[in-house]
Amino acid sequence: MQEFRLPDPGEGLTEAEIVTWRVKPGDTVHVNDVLLEVETAKSLVELPSPFEGTVEALLVDEGQTVEVGSPIIRVSGGDADAVETTQDTADTVEKDEDGGAVLVGYGVRGGAETRRRKPHTVRSVPAPTQPVRPASVPAASASPVIAKPPTRKLAKDLGVDLAAVAGSGLAGEVTRDDVVQAAQQATVFRNLQAPEWSGGREERIPVKGVRKVIAQGMVDSAFTAPHVSVFTDVDATRTMEFVQRLKASTDFAGVKISPLLIMAKAILWAIRRSPQVNSTFTGDELVVHHYVNLGIAAATPRGLLVPNVKDAQDLSLLELATALQQLTATAREGRTQPADMQHGTFTITNIGVFGMDTGTPILNPGETGIIALGTIRQKPWVVDGEVRPRWVTTVGGSFDHRAIDGDVISRFVADVAAILEEPALLLD
């Protein structure tokens, strides 16, 4: 009889929540078979079996949070000579060749060769199974839906009915952007509805996992770093024109282009002129980073995540657009790896996608600056003494006043605004 104890998934955590058991008592399991999914503070992780044999008992219920080292499953039988496993090896965490955390629990076969378990993988969080059709989406037609397999999978994950989406592809096919837009419209439609309260007068939701880490991080940031926030309105008409030209360019075919791309490039440009905003204040020294790991705050089903594009300063406009697309898609699908959220140096939060003009964002812990991009909408604007309709946005930002003074902050935000007003400055 062998007990499998909850290992540390390589993130230095002390506990995890049992999300889904993949086996039940009586099942036969082999080495590397996935036993269960657990949710840590950063990701969903599959735990493979270090044993062979028959499942005797599941010692922990789904939804229960347990400490690392606690017994969670009991397995009996199997080929004891082929798989000799001790708790020491079951709890070991090693690093693979790429530096990622790998759970080890196989023991030694024949007393000579150590077998390594497959790396744990991040699983996508299940999306709603019942699609919600927004009022603006036309009814499904009888004609077959044209969509590539990845697009169909994304639609399934986001709960989008492909038959209800008008395809914008050259052959009328439904594209990834069509699916994302339909999901966003469905979200707005759901938000406009007033659901009935159910389940009594109050609901109590345990604060754990990602939500617990977010809460602690925001408290630590808000009450450690003295925030100062600044705002400026920007005529982003030329940015919108530039975005349309990029969308029409064959070089950017298949890549999502939005004003966020120009904002990201503007920040990279402005950081070179004011490098102190891309720093970490330690108390004893100011560590100015000569690279930019650019974080993008992303609202996901698991909460607010801030994955970052590593060494964004070295990327071309096309490379940056591709990286942003991959980063946001991975975050929405719940597949962001813990390493992708570490070592960020500066963050963008795009609150404009929620219709907000501006805000006072809280710094990502360990960073000195964060920029908020507000919604871009047509407003009356004075141009050459005449009032004209222009595309206007508000750029806001929060900064650690221990690290940088008001003049540096103001110059940095003004530089970002200048690029949004005239993207051609990026060519300088």
Residues with catalytic function: 401
CA–CA distances in Å: residue 332 to residues 147, 180, 294, 300, 307: 20, 10, 18, 5, 11
Residue 344 near residue 364 (C-beta atoms within 8 A): yes
Cβ of 101: how many Cβ atoms within 10 Å?
19
Residue 161 near residue 131 (C-beta atoms within 8 A): yes
Beta 386-400 vs 369-373: how paired, if at all? antiparallel
Give the separation between CA 389 and CA 384, rounded to whole angstroms: 13
Cβ of 355: how many Cβ atoms within 10 Å?
10
Residue 381 near residue 228 (C-beta atoms within 8 A): no
Residues 55-70: b if buried by 16+ CB within 10 A, e if exposed: bbebbbeeeeebebee
Helical spans, DSSP H, in 45-148:
87-90
Beta 294-300 vs 346-349: how paired, if at all? parallel
Q: What is the dihedral of CA 307, 310, 316, 318, to 10 degrees?
A: -30
SS3 content of the chain, % helix, strand, coil (to 5): 30, 25, 45
What is the 3 state secondary structure string of 302-325?
Answer: CEEECCEECCHHHCCHHHHHHHHH
Token pair listed for 257: 């282009």
Q: What is the CA radius of gyration of the chain?
A: 25
Which residues neighbour 295 within 8 Å (Cβ) at sequence distance 6 or greater? 306, 307, 308, 309, 341, 344, 345, 346, 347, 348, 364, 367
